[in-house]
Amino acid sequence: MTKGLGELSSGEVAHVARVLGVNSWVLPLEGVKRWRVNRRCEYLELDDTLLKRGGGVSALDSGEELVMAAQERGIDTHEKGESEVREALDTWVKVTEALGGVKPGLWLLRPESWAKVIEKA
């Protein structure tokens, strides 16, 4: 359904690294990118767990906390209202639950198509 890190091509890894903000211009080696993408996915797994324990997306403060949580997951927040950002972040949580965790291949899909991932699971 959605690719794991080992299934991604070099170009796909580079794309995911850019989306997550972990791309390295100093050391643009694929192995470094894969390691950084893996570390970010691990971090997001932990952060998702803490988010759920803390009451979910609805419990996040509006403003910086909400925007930062969305941006860390590669969700576009530019010119988006609070309700749109919350909805996107809530969809993220549902998608990662449906996939059994954070999968790097998720960033190869547009957020508009995440609902399809939930339906297929």
Helix (H) or strand (E) holding 52: helix 30-53
Q: Is the pLDDT of residue 112 over 90?
A: no
Q: What is the pLDDT of residues 88-111, one digit of tens each?
A: 999 999 999 999 999 999 999 888
- Mean pLDDT, range 69-88, rounded to an integer: 94
- Mean pLDDT, range 5-14, rounded to an integer: 92
- Give me the pLDDT at residue 16, please: 94
Cα gap 15→57, rounded to integer Å: 26
Q: Is the pLDDT of residue 64 over 70?
A: yes
User: Which residue type, as a one-letter code, is found at position 114?
Assistant: W
- Give me the pLDDT at residue 63, please: 87
- Mean pLDDT, range 4-14, rounded to an integer: 92
- Give me the pLDDT at residue 23, please: 86
The alpha carbon of 2 is separated from its chain's Cα centroid by a whole number of angstroms, namely: 13
Cα gap 48→40, rounded to integer Å: 12
- Give me the pLDDT at residue 54, please: 94
Q: What is the pLDDT of residues 20-63, one digit of tens each?
A: 999 877 667 889 999 999 999 999 999 999 999 999 999 998 88
Residue 95, exposed/middle/buried by CB under 10 A (0-12, 13-18, 19+)? buried
